[in-house]
């Protein structure tokens, strides 16, 4: 009898399963599809051609210690930096490249429109300290010692963000705004608004949704931490996680849709019943 059943073999479920198995628990992952992957999956949707069916760039996992703690490179995963991480090609053909380096990005924008470049630089001056403070938990992971080490710098980042936005009330107003409003107010034209909005749309929130401002401000994360492709395809992450889970003694069972979660009379989860 297994200790833990993880429902779903997407990358999040697999990461969780790996840590549990690494800690010595007997872990089974059940997946309704024919293979593991979920949001990090690649399929031959056209004969002879493989396509990532959801995620393409992996940035958040590379803000964490997960790849190192699970030794995913040792399981075959290699990430390649995307720099520039985005290229905007408008109808007039005046290309803008978004590099990890903010000054290089500003210089690229300035070749097209100096006013646009200045606005983007100001926008990043606002967003960078806010995003740096917001991802403290991601970077610290499960290590209290690491959190103690980085907390002072993140408090300074938050203080900088508060000062640059004009105080707590102004920052709260900004964060409660739709990201469409933030981009329209902070940037000059769609030359920079559109590429940022394209990334913000990954949050599945409407540009006019109240409280979605942070998805636009998240642009700063790509400058701070980069954008990354798994060599080969997005499936590389999932395959490495499955391999690592296997090395820890865990396993994945595909074609195993869950019909219901079984509970005890007291409401405690006791297992799953497959369809």
Spatial CA neighbour of 56 closest among 239, 236, 240, 243: 236
Q: For 231, phi and psi rounded to 5 degrees?
A: -60, 130
Provide the pLDDT for residue 145: 75
Q: Is the alpha carbon torsion for 177, 183, 185, 190 positive or negative?
A: negative
Neighbours of 140 (CB within 10 A): 19
Enumerate the domain spans of the chain: 1-78+233-275, 84-225
**Residue of 44, 33, 25 whose CA lies nearest to 8:** 33
Supply φ then ψ for residue 84, to 5 degrees: -70, 155
- Confidence at residue 103, expressed as pLDDT on a 0 to 100 scale: 98
Using one digit for the tens of pLDDT, what is the confidence trace for 24-69? 999 999 999 999 999 999 999 999 999 999 988 899 999 888 999 9
pLDDT, average across residues 66-87: 95
Mean pLDDT of the chain: 93
Contact 226, 191 (CB under 8 A): no
269 vs 44: CA distance, rounded Å: 37
Structure token digits, residue 244: 């690592």
Percent of the chain with pLDDT over 90: 82
pLDDT value, residue 142: 61
pLDDT tens sequence across 246-265: 999 999 999 999 999 999 99
- Position 205 pLDDT exceeds 70: yes
**Strand 27-30 to strand 42-46: parallel, antiparallel, or no bridges (unpaired)?**
unpaired
pLDDT at 144 over 80: no
Token readout for 195 is: 């590429």
Any alpha helices (H) in the chain, and if so which ranges? Answer: 11-22, 66-69, 102-110, 114-134, 136-140, 144-165, 168-175, 179-186, 190-200, 213-217, 219-225, 235-247
Provide the CA 158 distance to its chain's centre, in angstroms: 21
146 pLDDT higher than 90:
no
Which token pair is 201?
């749309």
Residue 19 CB coordination number (10 Å): 17
Q: Kind of pairing, strands 27-30 and 251-253? A: parallel
Confidence at residue 151, expressed as pLDDT on a 0 to 100 scale: 79
Segment 229-236 shows an average pLDDT of: 94
- % of the chain with per-residue pLDDT over 70: 98
| Sequence-separated (6 or more) residues with CB below 8 Å from residue 233 | 42, 50, 52
DSSP string for 155-189: HHHHHHHHHHHTSHHHHHHHHTS-HHHHHHHHSSS
Report whether the peptide linkage leading into residue 129 is cis, meaning its omega lies within 30 degrees of zero: no
At 174, the pLDDT band (50, 70, 90 cuts) reads very high
Q: pTM of the full predicted structure?
A: 0.88
pLDDT > 90? residue 154:
no
* Least confident window among 72-86, 146-160, 186-200: 146-160
Query: CA nearest 3: which of 23, 14, 12, 176?
Result: 23
Question: The domain 1-78+233-275 belongs to what CATH superfamily?
Answer: FAD/NAD(P)-binding domain (3.50.50.60)
């Amino acid at each position: 009898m297994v200790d833990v059943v993880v429902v779903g073999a997407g990358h999040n479920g697999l990461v969780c399963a790996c840590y549990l198995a690494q800690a010595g628990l007997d872990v089974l992952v059940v997946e309704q599809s024919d293979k593991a992957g979920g949001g990090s999956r690649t399929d031959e949707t056209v004969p002879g051609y493989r396509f990532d069916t959801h995620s393409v760039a992996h940035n958040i996992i590379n803000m964490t210690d997960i790849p190192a703690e699970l030794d995913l490179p040792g399981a075959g995963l290699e990430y390649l930096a995307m720099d520039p991480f985005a290229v905007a090609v408008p109808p007039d053909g005046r290309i803008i490249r978004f590099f990890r380096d903010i000054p290089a990005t500003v210089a690229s924008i300035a070749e097209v429109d100096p006013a646009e470049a200045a606005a983007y630089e100001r926008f990043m001056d606002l967003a960078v300290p806010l995003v740096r403070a917001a991802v403290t938990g991601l970077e610290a992971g499960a290590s209290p010692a690491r959190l103690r080490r980085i907390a002072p710098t993140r408090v300074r980042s938050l203080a900088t963000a508060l000062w640059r936005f004009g105080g707590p009330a102004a920052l709260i107003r900004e964060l409660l705004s739709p990201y469409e409003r933030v981009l329209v107010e902070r940037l000059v034209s769609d030359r920079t608004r559109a590429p940022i909005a394209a990334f913000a749309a990954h949050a599945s929130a409407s540009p006019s949704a109240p409280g979605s401002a942070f998805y636009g401000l998240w642009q700063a994360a790509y400058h701070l931490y980069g954008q990354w492709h798994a060599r080969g395809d997005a499936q590389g992450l999932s395959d490495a996680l499955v391999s690592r889970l296997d090395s820890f003694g865990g396993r994945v069972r595909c074609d195993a849709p869950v019909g219901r979660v079984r509970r005890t009379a007291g409401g405690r989860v006791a297992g799953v019943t497959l369809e």
